[in-house]
Each structure stands twice: as structure tokens, then as C-alpha cells.
Amino acid sequence: MMLTGAEIVMECLLREGVEIMFGYPGGAILPTYDAMTKYPQIRHVLVRHEQGAAHMADGYARATGKVGVAIATSGPGATNLVTGIGTAMMDSSPIVCITGQVPRGAIGSDAFQEIDITGITLPITKHNYLVGDVRELAYVIKEAFYIARTGRPGPVLIDIPKDVQNEKIEFEYPEGPVRLPGYRPPSMASEEQIQAALDLIHQAKRPIILAGHGIVMAGASQELRELAERAQIPVALTLLGKGAMSEQHPLVVGMMGMHGAAACNYAIQEADLLIALGMRFDDRVTGNLKTYSPNSRKIHVDIDPSEINKNVKVDVGIAGDVRTVLAQILPGLQSMTHPEWIGRIRDWQEDGNERDILNYDTGDRLLGAQVINDLWHYTGGDAITVTDVGQHQMLEAQYYPHQRPATMLTSGGLGTMGFGLPAAIGAKLGRPDEEVWAIVGDGGFQMTMAELATAMQEKVKVNIAILNNAYLGMVRQWQEFFYEERYQATPMFNPDFVKLAEAFGIPAMRVTHRSQVEESVRFARSHETTVLIEDAIEKEDIVYPMVPAGADLHNMIRRPKPGEKQG
Amino acid sequence: MSQPEKHKQTVVALVENKPGVLNRVASLFRRRNFNVDSLTVGRTHKPHISRMTIVVDAQRTDGRRIAANLFKLVNVIDVKLVSEEPYVSRDLALIKVRTDDVDSRNAVTTICDRYPARIVDIGTKVAIIEITAQEDIVESLIHELEPIGIVEMVRTGVVAMGRGVRIVDADYEPPILAHTEADAYQVYGV
């Protein structure tokens, strides 16, 4: 069969099981856009900015576990993808980005819309390709999808010159396995490693499991629960590990780290064994490394060998797939109990509950915590929530306990404002039967709000809750704590979000009182289109607890108990 | 035979012989803030495989971290920390020194006699000395030549190989049939 390069691209996407791609056309990618007309099986979603395409592909990938696909033209089209690619890289999200490039003969001549996108994205992709020969194209695409989804997943970019897209050859799909001699992701642990891990677990008096994104991506929730239950080990979750185990399970203590549950952080500091599963000891999780969990032995399981001993030196480091490794550990695992240790954690939790803002009389004020908690309540705690970055993100993590993996999508590693709305659109397109809420702040929302048009054009139903405090809230919080309340460049002049929504034909309502949150959920559910809710929340609120950057994990700024003064 | 300096670690990487692979390795070192003493690349007896030798100061950068990160690069076929066991390492230097009087000519000849070095070019003004030796011996020769007057110098950087039957090699044929036309684009993999 004679096919052009562009048709080969579509043919290969089809073979990879791609059902949807997010993109924006332009000169250098036009041959591939033209070829799309012959492949109506693959839906194309027209975004309003290429960053949106990358985030949508990312949200789609996180929600479904499949590879998300973004497509853009050369030059600015390609550079606009960069933030989204970096976001996917930091959170190990499998996406494939296809970019057009100027014709081969023009490469290096500063041609119109020419940019060295493979050079630019080299440090922020798992791998990337500039396709120099149409005969390589099918191999490259097959490799790209394989690399993106296996091992530690991540973004792969394929840059295809326009003349390669136009060139016609006799096409034969490369059947059989991908041959990549230098790409061998680890999978299993050795028997010695398993025995060493089991010995540490069986000796531990104060163990705690640190469960991360790896559990979600490896689909190891079942194995994690078995480990925790049989050995009665409390579980702390990372931000991206939320939902790795039902957060209503009595053994789940909550989220760890900078804005984590105080009980979690105290437990980590006092533990005699950390069992880190599919997490990478990010600085937002550890605080000061020198004082981090000083008296514990440490087991670390991660698919990426370069993560072992990177930030925290461990006693047993296992480079492997966390599900496979847990399945190796479980047969040798004895039943254990740690009543005293768990009792200790309960005391810390009790203290945390006393400080919970929800137990305060806050009068007429509408607080972000209340909005999130009520959203949790009225959505039955079962929605897919996609957040942006900032105070609302941390409040979501604290006040929206998830029961299932891959139901809380957020930009953790890169902390990309503007991620929320496009990622929510991608998630909804991947999981159309789920109720999807984009929970965003007024700052981040305005970075990518043009995608409201995408949601309407593509008839995607996303419920948007903007927690509007007319501030860049998290930055303002830092300014309040660490810069003597000098609120430089954090107050926001915002548009009327309800009117803005109406301009896009989006039903919208404003919530100013707590009693309206329930109504807003009903309002959102009563429309088949995307809906926007503006929650006008307290302007100068603080997310507690907080470990200041670089401080010891146990030295949190806590919310004072009622009647207590801020220490 | 003495091993090179204790705090130096030597990593050997077999990489696909493709354009851009050196760029990927260099980019990795830069973004991970790895300090590298020397990096050399050369061909092997297999046309598709190049071999890199990377020397690091373990007090500043752990060679094992470098190895673990190199291993993640798709174009890196294999990585070994060869300095963990006995190995041979060599550095080559060309040193141009002043020889414009009898004293300097005599001194250069005397010094070279005590080293695995030879004079490969000599004139009335300057001479070129070539030495191939372990890095510390090269350093030592340079140190002795300095008072005479080094006017130009070039070094290849260290290459290394494990002793005995420990072999760093890979059976690898490129996954795609090579298009051998001279004008074919080979920018595959950047």
C-alpha cells in the first residue's frame, strides 16, 4: 500500500489504539491534518492554545492510563507545547507529541516558523525524535508509544519535517516487538531484596507506608491494601498518590508533606521503618533532608533506578515495577499488629481534628475548605477532580478524600498553573461516564481559560469550580508568613466570571454563601454542557498546616486551636 | 600496578553511534548538575556502537548516580562503573615546550627519558612531546615541563578498560535497516 508520511502517521496512531488527539493546525503540520480526513475513527479536538493540547493529552492519559496524543505545527506551535511537556515529564505522564517541522532542506536556515524543538525538549522529554527519513517514520512512532507508556512513563516528542509527511512510500507496518537495546526498564526484585525488605518489615515497631503516583500508574492498589492490612501498617499518601488506597480506609492517615496532615508528618518523623512505594522523596514531601525521618530504616521501591538513593539514602532499594514487587513481597508477609503505634497516630489525628477549620464557627465567611468539603459531600466523594496549582489544590488534597485511584489529577512536580481546565477536558473525554470537576483558582484559571471555547465546541461536560479569592492565594500566604505581608503583585483584578462564562454560552452561577454550594452542585448536574461556578471565598485565608520550605518536616506552622494564640 | 587516584571514578558507556547522542549525554550532565572531569567518545570495533569514558571526582559527583541516569537514556546501550574493579586507563597529551637554548633542550630530553614519553617534533624554537600514560603520570610530566615553558598543550581525556575477561560489549544491530545512500538523512534520533 502506497502511503504518504502523513498517512503513515495516522495509520500508526490507529494501530496504537489512539481514539482521540488534541491539537492545533498550522503550515508545517498541514499534510497530517489533511490525512486526518481519511481517518475519521480518530477524533481531533481543536484547542485554543497548544499548551491546552498538551495538558488535555496529559489529563486524558492520567485518567485512562492510555497514551495521550497532542499535535501541533512547527515553531510557536511546538514551543507552546513546552509547558505541557514539562508538566507530563515531572509527573511521569505518558503522552506523545507530534510536531510539524520545516522541510528537511530548510532545517538550519532559520526558515519561517522553524524552531529546534527536539533541542528545546531534549531535557524535558523521556525521548524525542526528528524524523529524517519517511522509511523510519513507522518505527519511530511505534517506539515513541512504547517508550511513553512503559517503565517510568513520560512524554515523547516526534518532530516530522513537512516533506517527510508528503513523501510517498510503500508502507508496511513493522509488526513484532520494538527493538530498543538501550531501553530495559526494570521489573522484578531479586529474592535477596525481597527477603531483606521482609526482614525489615517484620522487625519494625513503627512502620509507615509512603504510597505515591507509582501505585496509581502500576495499578497496585489491591496489593498495597493487602500489604497495609495484613501487616497493619499505616499509609501516608503523596499528592499524586491520592486515591492509591481509599482515603476513608482506617489505615490511611492522609497526605504527607508541606501541606500534609500533621499526623502523617509526625508519624514519618518518628517511624522506625519507611516503606516508600512508587514515590520519589520530593522536597515538598521531605522538608529538610538532614532531619528527615532520622531513626528509620528505609525500603524504596521505584521503577526508575536513578530515583533510588537520589534524595534519601535507603537500606533496601528496589528498582522495579511496584505491583510486581509487591506481589513478590506478599507471599512471605506475616500478619502483624502495631496497636501502640497506630494509637499514637490516632492521637495526632485527634489533635489535627481539633484544629480543623470545619469545626470552627466562621460566621458568614465562605472558606475554600468548606467549599471543597461540601463539593466532596454533594458529589458523593466519587468525582474525578482536576485541580490547578495553589491554595485550592492543597485544600482539595486535604478536604476531598478519594476512594479510587486516578480520580485526582493535579500538576504536582512542575506545579503548572493553568493545568486544571484543559486537563479536566482531557480527563472527561477519556472517561465520559465520570463526573469531572475542574477545581481551580482565579489565577490559574485565567492562564488557560480560552479552553472554555474548546469545551463548548467539542461538547465536553466539565464542571468548573473557581475558588475566587481575588489573590494569587498561595503566593499571598508566603508573603504573609515570610515577607511581612508585602503583597507584591498578588491582588488580582478579575473579570466577572459569570458574565465571562455567558459569553461562551456556558451556564454559570456565583456562590457567596456556604448554603449555596449544594445548590451549585445541583445546578452543575442539571446542565449537559460545561458549567462554571464561581465560589467567592474569603480573600485572605491560610492553608494549614504548613512546613516552610526547607524546614524540618515536624516543624509545621499549625492552625491554633480555638482560644489558642498563633505560636 | 597502582590504580589512578582513589577519589576518581570511571564510567564506561556504550552508546548508539547516531548523531545527537553526545548532545543527550552532555545535556543530562548539565541538567543534573553533574561535574565531569573528562569525557571522551570514540568508535568501537562495531560500527553502530560508540564508547564513552567518563571520569568524575566522586567527592563532587557520585559515579553511580551518573551511571543510573545514563542508563535511562534510550540511546545508551550499557553502562559500567569500571573503576570498581581493576582497570587500565590512559590519557594522551601533546605538549609543545620551549627549546630555544641548550639548557631547555637538554632538560626536555632528560625529563622525557624518565617518562613513557617521546619527542615527536623538534626544532630550534619548540618541541612537541607526546605521552600516553595513566592520567596522574601525564600530570606529573606536565608539572616537570612547566618551568621550562609550555607554550601549547592538548589532551585527549581518559579512556579506560577493565582488566581480565570483564568485557563491556553489546550485541546490537540497529533496529532499522541502514539506508546507506551517501545523501540519506541520518538525523534519526537527533
- When mean pLDDT is compared across A31-35, A106-110, B11-15, B182-186, the lowest value belongs to B182-186
Mean pLDDT of A111-123: 97
User: Does the pLDDT at position B182 exceed 80?
Assistant: no
Domain match, A382 and A342 both = no
Residue type, B172: Y
Q: Flag whether B63 is in a domain.
A: yes
A62, three cell numbers: 492520567
Instruction: Return the closest-CA partner of residue A160 out of A176, A137, A182.
Output: A137
CA distance B56 to B62: 8
Q: Which residues of A touch B179 (CB under 8 A)?
A: 133, 135
Q: Is the dihedral of CA A163, A167, A173, A174 positive or negative?
A: negative
pLDDT tens digits for A313-366?
Answer: 999 999 999 999 999 999 999 999 999 999 999 999 999 999 999 988 888 899
Domain end, chosen from B85, B103, B119, is at: B85
Q: What nine digits make up the cell of A145?
A: 508509544
In terms of pTM, does the model score above 0.90? yes
Q: pLDDT tens-digit profile of A227-250?
A: 999 999 999 999 999 999 999 999
Distance from CA of B153 to the nearest CA of A (A): 33
Which chain B residues are closer than 8 Å to A107 by Cβ?
Answer: 187
In chain B, the number of structural domains is 2
Max distance between CA atoms of chain B, in angstroms, equals: 62
| pLDDT digits 0-9 by tens, B120-179 | 999 999 999 999 999 999 999 999 999 999 999 999 999 999 998 878 887 776 655 444
Give yes or no: residues B13 and B48 share one domain: yes
Q: Hey, how many other C-beta atoms are within 10 angstroms of the C-beta on A284? A: 18
Place of cell 565531569: B36
Contacts of A40 by beta carbon, 8 Å cutoff, 6+ apart: none
B98 - beta bridge partners?
B126
Q: Rounded CA gap, A491 and A46, in Å?
A: 33
Amino acid at B39: L
DSSP string covering A32-62: HHHHHTT-TTSEEEE-SSHHHHHHHHHHHHH
Cβ–Cβ below 8 Å for B15 and A136: no
Residue B127 backbone phi and psi in degrees, to 5: -135, 150
What domain range is B100 assigned to?
88-159
* Matching residue, cell 464557627: A361
pLDDT in tens, A436-457: 999 999 999 999 999 999 999 9
Task: Give CA angle at A38 (A35, A44), nearest 5°.
Answer: 70
Report the DSSP beta bridge partners of residue B92: B132
Q: Is B136 helix (H, G, I), strand (E, B) or coil?
A: helix
Identify the contact set of chain B against chain A, taking CB-CB distances under 8 A: 15-16, 20, 23-24, 27-28, 31, 64-65, 68-69, 71-78, 170, 172, 175-176, 179, 184-190
Q: What is the pLDDT of residues A373-423, one digit of tens each?
A: 999 999 999 999 999 999 999 999 999 999 999 999 999 999 999 999 999
Considering the domain architecture, whether residues A531 and A415 belong to the same structural domain is answered as: yes
In angstroms and rounded to an integer, the radius of gyration of the C-alpha atoms of chain A is 24
How many domains does one find in chain A?
A: 3
* Residues B121 and B66 grouped into a single domain: no
Compare CB distances from A129 to B65, B77, B189 and report the shortest one's residue: B189
Q: In terms of domains, do A257 and A386 share one?
A: no
Do residue B12 and residue B65 come from a single domain?
yes
Within 8 A of B28 by CB-CB distance, chain A residues are 123
B70 in the same domain as B28: yes
CATH code for the domain of A128? 3.40.50.970
Query: Which of A130, A147, A308 lies nearest to residue B190, judging by beta carbons?
Result: A130
Our answer to whether residue A50 is catalytic in this structure is: yes
Do residues B154 and B103 both lie within one domain?
A: yes
**Whether A112 is catalytic:** yes
What count of residues does chain B have?
A: 190
Nearest Cα residue in chain B from A153: B72
Residue B180 has pLDDT above 90, yes or no: no
Interface touch A123/B172, C-beta < 8 Å: no
- Amino acid letter for position B105: R
CA distance A35 to chain B (A): 23
pLDDT category at A566 given cuts 50, 70, 90 is: low
- Bond preceding residue A545 cis, omega within 30 of 0: yes
Average pLDDT, chain A: 97
Residue at a domain's end among B85, B120, B143: B85
d(CA A564, CA A557) in angstroms, rounded, equals: 13
Which grid coordinates belong to B22? 553526545
Residue with cell 564506561: B12
C-alpha cell at A355: 484544629
The answer to the question of residue A477 being in a domain is yes
A145: containing domain: 2-170
Chain B within 8 Å of A41 (Cβ-Cβ)?
A: no
Gap from A81 CA to chain B (nearest CA, Å): 19
